[in-house]
Amino acid sequence: MTGKENNFQTEREVFSEHIQKAGLRHTAQRDLILDIFLQTDEHLSSEDLYWLVHKQDSSVGHTTVYRTLKLLTDAGLAREVRFGDGKTYYEHHYNQEHHDHMICTECGRVVEFFSPEIEALQDSVAAEYGFKLTHHSMRILGLCEDCQKKDAETSASGAQPRIRVKSVVVT
Ligand SMILES: [Zn+2]
Ligand SMILES: [Zn+2]
Ligand SMILES: [Zn+2]
């Protein structure tokens, strides 16, 4: 636990510096939102984070959470990710290894993966097209192992797969 506290210290300093540069004030609400964000290990929508914050301080509004997430993104602490369900999710970005995502279209499970082969191939494809690659977001959609088993048990309904990313908030 003490190790984790230490880790957050750098993140707090990064955030503090960013807030000063942006000409904003330090507020207890922003600090709480940062702390709760850092303690999560998931891909969170602004709404998800709002509910987690709400449990600790019900006076924090949706807009404050949303704006703070934008600040965290600008500060390089958070990164926006999209999984195809029309929502924006946020994950840790500071000192994080690059990874891509597989999303289960049935249960919304998100699996993070890293493939050096795919990364290298993307670089060479970009070079082939004279394209200067700045960043990328690779999404693989499909069915996770559990849902494949469930699918085999129950006959297919014929409904179109709809992406619903699983909420981390249990209400
Ligand atoms: Zn990648
Ligand atoms: Zn699934
Ligand atoms: Zn991720």
**For position 2, what pLDDT does the model report?**
47
Indicate the pLDDT class of residue 98, thresholds 50, 70 and 90.
very high
**For position 13, what pLDDT does the model report?**
94
Q: Which ligand is nearest to the CA of 93?
A: 3
Number of domains in the chain: 1
How far does residue 20's CA lie from ligand 1's centre (Å)?
Answer: 32
**For position 164, what pLDDT does the model report?**
76
Q: Which ligand is nearest to the CA of 96?
A: 3
Instruction: Specify if 162 maps to a domain.
Output: no
Domain of 117, in residue numbers: 2-153
Total length of the chain:
171
Instruction: Specify if 56 maps to a domain.
Output: yes
Pairing mode, if any, of strands 100-104 and 139-142? parallel
How far does residue 106's CA lie from ligand 2's centre (Å)?
Answer: 5
How far does residue 127's CA lie from ligand 3's centre (Å)?
Answer: 26
Max distance between CA atoms of the chain, in angstroms, equals 58
Q: What is the pLDDT of residues 143-156, one digit of tens each?
A: 999 999 988 887 55
How far does residue 99's CA lie from ligand 1's centre (Å)?
Answer: 5
Residue pair 33/64 in contact (Cβ under 8 Å)? The answer is yes
Q: Which ligand is nearest to the CA of 98?
A: 1
What's 29's domain CATH number?
Answer: 1.10.10.10
Residue pair 111/96 in contact (Cβ under 8 Å)? The answer is no
Instruction: Specify if 63 maps to a domain.
Output: yes
Lowest mean pLDDT among 66-70, 129-133, 159-163: 159-163
Instruction: Specify if 169 maps to a domain.
Output: no
Q: What is the pLDDT of residues 9-42, one digit of tens each?
A: 999 999 999 999 999 988 999 999 999 999 998 8
Instruction: Specify if 64 maps to a domain.
Output: yes
Instruction: Specify if 159 maps to a domain.
Output: no
How far does residue 33's CA lie from ligand 1's centre (Å)?
Answer: 28
Q: Which ligand is nearest to the CA of 106?
A: 2
Instruction: Specify if 165 maps to a domain.
Output: no
Instruction: Specify if 57 maps to a domain.
Output: yes
- The yes-or-no verdict on residue 138 having pLDDT over 70 is yes
Q: Which ligand is nearest to the CA of 165?
A: 2
Q: Is the pTM of this model over 0.85?
A: no
Residue pair 19/68 in contact (Cβ under 8 Å)? The answer is no
How far does residue 112's CA lie from ligand 3's centre (Å)?
Answer: 5
